[in-house]
Structure 1
Amino acid sequence: MSADQRGPTDDTATSVRTTLIERSISLTDNRINSRDLFAATREVLIVHGDETYRLRLTAQNKLILTK
Structure 2
Amino acid sequence: MTQEASKHEIMGKSLVCPVCDHDEFWTRETLMNTAGASFLGFDWANKAAKNYVCNQCGYVFWFLKK
Q: Give the TM-score normalised by structure 2.
A: 0.31
Q: Compare relative contact order (CA 8 Å, sep 6+) and give the higher one, 1 or 2.
A: 2
Q: Give the TM-score normalised by structure 1.
A: 0.31
Q: Which has the larger radius of gyration?
A: 1
